[in-house]
A and B are shown apart, each in its own frame.
Chain A
Amino acid sequence: MSIKTLTTQHRVVEFLHRSIEEMPFYNGDLSDRIATFILRYLDECGSDLKTAFGVYERFIADFNGDIKAFTETGKYPAALKPQPDLDRASYDMVLLLSCLVSPHRYRMMSLIYEQTRASDDAVFVGCGPGLEIDLVAEKFDQAHAFDLSLGSAPQALMPNVLFYEEYFPSPRLTTGSDAIYLIELLEHLDDPLPILRDCTAFLRPGGRIYMTTATNLPQFDHLYNFAPDHSGFLTDLEAMGLIVVLNVEIPHVYQSGDIEAKNHFIVAQKDDYKDGS
């Protein structure tokens, strides 16, 4: 399967992905990998691209409303209204499709794909449908994936990955790790620092945390809004004994309003010296 296998099934997806093809970070192999995973995932769930895109459209319509409310109030939806009733499978479809039609989501996947170092093992915290794992799992002898709500599809599609439907850290995994992924997780927490401290403690010396942050992104389930200037957060990472080796800003562009939204993709390495001191 390839990206063309998917885009020929849906004209709007094809059009939206065309804009990503013109981006400097476009990677044909990556698009093929993402498209293949999505088609396998939908098949595993008994769904199809048309249904998934319908879910995505409704999600975007709600998000556009949330952008408008954020522009007017400066508050995230969680502070303004009840949470929408969005089931895990639908949410996963939105997450997956956005990786092919939304430039900032595609950029995030490209950074994970390009920046991951091969090592013994990796832990993915808040893994969702698991696309990030599929993109890089071959670089690890063993991948562990945590999420509080796991569907059956990720396990079926990635039988070599060990899945845990529970919080991280867990007493069932105490060996430490060379790589920990916190992708689109921190903004879902009231305070991102406790989980980062736990991850740093779990990380082996010289190991890396791959993380993303979100600023001015009024998604219904986002709780923490990272300050546009990340200097305070970066200082917090350093205080934990982490050295920031990569910090890429990923701006968002929305027709419904300029809210200066962005992600940062950050790679932080555990300081060997401090760990041994």
Chain B
Amino acid sequence: MSAKSTIERLTEVIEDVLDVEDLVLTPATTAEDVEGWDSLAHVRIVIAAEEEFGVRFTTHEVAALKSVGGVVDLIHSKL
């Protein structure tokens, strides 16, 4: 599975959680770059990503996430 396909799937997850369309994410994108991605949206995104990719994150892993690339890397580490 390529990083790009994971980003595409993650983008759809985030679009769904934030109820937005045509979101453009890169590995360098952070929560601050995306309107509506606040602390509670972050938790919803993490939970939705867990369901989408069939993985489980610890709270320490989630707290350490700084960018979309970090989320993608974390997902890959669990697949």
Show the binding face of A for B, using Cβ within 8 Å.
11-12, 15-16, 18-19, 22, 57, 60-61, 64, 254-256
B16 proximal to A (CB < 8 A): no
Neighbour of A64 across the interface among B39, B43, B47, B59, CB < 8 A:
B39
The reply to whether B59 and A256 contact each other, CB–CB distance below 8 Å, is no
Given A22-B60, A255-B31, A61 and B38 contact (CB-CB distance below 8 Å): yes
Cross-chain contact B47 with A11 (CB below 8 angstroms):
yes
Q: Which residues of chain B from 15 to 30 have any CB-CB distance to chain A below 8 Å in the complex?
A: none
Give the A-binding residues of B (Cβ under 8 A).
31, 38-40, 42-44, 46-47, 59-60, 63
Contact indicator B38/A12 (Cβ below 8 Å): no
Also in contact, A16 and B43, with CB within 8 A (given A22-B59, A22-B60, A255-B31): yes
Inter-chain contacts of A19 with B (CB < 8 A): 59, 63
Give A162 to B29 CA distance when docked, in angstroms.
Answer: 54
Smallest distance from the beta carbon of B10 to chain A beta carbons, Å?
18
A18 and B59 in contact (CB under 8 A), knowing A11-B47, A12-B47, A255-B31?
A: yes
Q: Specify which chain A residues have a CB less than 8 angstroms from the CB of B47 in the assembled complex.
A: 11-12, 15
A57: which B residues are within 8 A, CB to CB? 40
CB-CB nearest in chain A for B36:
A61
Closest to A56 in B: B40
Bound-state Cα–Cα, A18 to B43, Å: 12
CB distance from B78 to the nearest CB of A (A): 16
Q: A61-B40, A255-B42, A256-B39 are in contact. List 12 more A-B contacts (CB 8 A).
A: A11-B47, A12-B43, A15-B43, A15-B47, A15-B59, A19-B59, A22-B60, A60-B40, A61-B38, A254-B39, A255-B31, A256-B38
